[in-house]
Amino acid sequence: MKKLFLLALTAVLFYGCSKSNSGSSAKPSATQWTLNGVTYTGVTTGYNDTSSGLGILVSVDAKGNSLSVIFFSHPSANGTYVVTDESPTPANSVTIQMYVYNGSSGEIYTSTGKAGDQLDLTIVNEKVKVSFTDITLANGSTTATGTGTALQQ
Please, are residues 137 and 110 in contact by the beta-carbon 8 Å criterion? yes
Give the domain ranges of the chain: 2-16+30-151
Q: How would DSSP label each residue in 115-139?
A: TT-EEEEEEETTEEEEEEEEEEEEE
- pLDDT of residue 131 exceeding 90, the answer is yes
**149 closest CA partner among 88, 94, 38, 69:** 69
Please, are residues 75 and 123 in contact by the beta-carbon 8 Å criterion? yes
DSSP letter for 150, please.
E
Please, are residues 59 and 99 in contact by the beta-carbon 8 Å criterion? no
What pLDDT digit, counting tens, does each position of 74-119 carry? 888 899 999 999 888 888 899 999 999 988 889 999 999 999 999 9
